[in-house]
Structure 1
Amino acid sequence: MVIPSDKPQPDDEVTMKILRDQISQQVHPIHRLDRPTSGVLLFATDRDVARELHFAFERHEVHKTYLAVIDGFPDQDQWNCREPLAKNDTSEAKPAETHFRILQEIPPELTLIEASPKSGRFHQIRRHLALDKLPIVGDYRYAEIERCNQLGAKYGIGTRMLLQAKSLKLQHPVTKEDLTIEAPLDPRIQKLLPS
């Protein structure tokens, strides 16, 4: 499923429309995920609440946690990548930081990690991992295509990228209650984990 700014194709299921139809109410997307990323999406049903949530994201008051299956084994259990990132070849690089932590090795060649971006640059997690020579399995943009195909066939996961928006932690803009919104583990990731 996609959200509108992804330039949906005619057969795409648009998340916002599906949700609107399910709850019979207008919804406002608060953030977005890359097309191949699964996981938590946040919407608001009130325009003022949506505005406040957008501001919370801009002020980095929302803590985002992602899971990724990467090709290889990191040298450290935890590490930070602070490589500045530019959106494209003509724009200036801006500060970017992502904290990574190993959750589980998946022998013989993969690792499940947690990623917590401290900034919100374009494809930040994907690019930081590629810079660290630890690309996400199925990331056809930043990993080698042949290797993506090989791993997809070997593990029976096809061509999907194994990156999931696992959780969002934020304060509700009206009630001020601390919220944690979590997605169930992506079945494609679950399939790879040793029993």
Structure 2
Amino acid sequence: MTPLNILYQDEYLVAVHKPSGLLVHRSALARGETEFLLQRLRDQLGQRVYPVHRLDRPTSGVMVLALSSEVAARLSDSFGERQVDKRYLAVVRGVAPAEARLDYPLREEDGIRPKADMLAMPSMTDIRCVDSVELPVQVDRYPKARYSLVEAKPLTGRRHQIRRHLSRRGYPVIGDAKHGKSVHNRFFAEQLGAPRLLLAASYLAFDHPLDNKRLELSCALDDTMTALFHHLGWAGHLPLDSVRTPPIATPPALQAL
């Protein structure tokens, strides 16, 4: 089995590239599955790991896990209090706006309770159109097909938030079987070699739970999305695996001393 790509590791936490299609942990909604990120990473590192946030099964990208329950509690607090900067790259149908804030309440779906039993919760996602392309093919009812590369920054953490917000605004993520449009999903799968959800967690920044050092993690895309970006002329937007620890800014009053 191919080892998971480790982006960063110290004695307290580890950041990995979660592949698309891999479940993070066992779930009542995925009975019969035998492969999970937690087990693979545990076996690879030879020690137990603790999840502190989630990525949907079809979403790829950077994911942070703690190496102890104490660190997991601290990191979970940071994620829960929205002290983490998350950014995703998504390929969507249509020409997305240059910038927009998607502010649509969403039901906090858990996949178990009926939707009628769940209240709509405030939900916000900032989006930015990074690039767009027009293909000279008729995919739907128009003679040409337009698609955009969008950077999405969720400001809240609802289930499937980015996918649901973009779909509601009219720019569904390609490969999204539930919130997208099958004709475009099929075109990308059959003609462009991209049969997966085209959504990737490309950037994550947070304060280290022990020394408060800011960690900025960038995650490269997988082979499928990388090849697609080259095909669409978006290679210049491909992120690279990187780790940055920017210096803490010195207050002006201390700079003068």
What is aligned with 2:133? 106
Instruction: Tell me what 2:185 maps to.
Output: 148
From the CA coordinates, give the structure whose radius of gyration is larger: 2
| AA partner of residue 185 (structure 1) | L
Match of residue 223 from structure 2: 187
| Aligned counterparts of 1:117 and 1:31: Cα–Cα separation in 2 | 13
2:66 alignment partner, one of 44, 54, 65: 44
| Distance in 2, Cα, partners of 1:5 & 1:106 | 39
Q: 2:130 aligns to what SS in structure 1?
A: strand
1:164 aligns with 2:200: yes
User: Is the alpha carbon distance of 1:9 and 1:106 closer, same or farther for their aligned partners in structure 2, counting shifts above 3 Å?
Assistant: farther
The runs of 5 or more residues in structure 2 that have no matched partner are 1-21, 110-114, 136-145, 236-257
Number of residue pairs the alignment of both structures matches: 193
Q: Which runs of 5+ in 1 are unaligned?
A: none
Shift of 1:22: 1.1
Does the 8 Å contact 2:201/2:219 carry over to 1?
yes
> 1:96 pairs with 112, 118, 123, which one?
123
Identity %: 33
Q: Deviations over 1:55-109 (max 9, x none)?
A: 00110001110000001112x2111100111124221111100000111213322
Specify the SS of the correspondent of 1:20: helix
Shift of 1:186: 2.8
CA distance in 1, matches of 2:134, 2:35: 35
SS at 1:13's partner residue?
coil
Say whether the 8 Å CA contact 2:194–2:224 is kept in structure 1: yes
SS in 2 for 1:176: coil
Structure 2 residue 53 is the aligned partner of structure 1 residue 31: yes
State the TM-score, normalizing by the size of structure 2. 0.71
Gap change, CA 1:92 and 1:11, over 3 Å in 2: closer
Q: Distance in 2 between matches of 1:162 and 1:41?
A: 17
1:81 aligns with 102
Looking at structure 1, the residues matched to 207 and 49 of structure 2 have their Cα atoms a distance apart, in angstroms, of 19
User: Which of 65, 69, 87 is residue 87 of structure 2 equivalent to?
Assistant: 65
Given candidates 38, 41, 49, the residue that maps to 1:19 is 41
Aligned residues of 2:193 and 2:228 also touching (Cα < 8 A): no
CA distance in structure 2 between the partners assigned to 1:28 and 1:46 by the alignment: 7
Residues in 2 aligned to 1:145 and 1:176: alpha-carbon distance in whole angstroms:
45
| Cα distance change on mapping 1:110 and 1:12 into 2, 3 Å | farther
CA distance in 2, matches of 1:141, 1:104: 25
The amino acid across from 1:44 in the alignment is A
CA distance in 2 between counterparts of 1:5 and 1:95 reads 28
Q: Which residue of 1 aligns with 2:15?
A: none
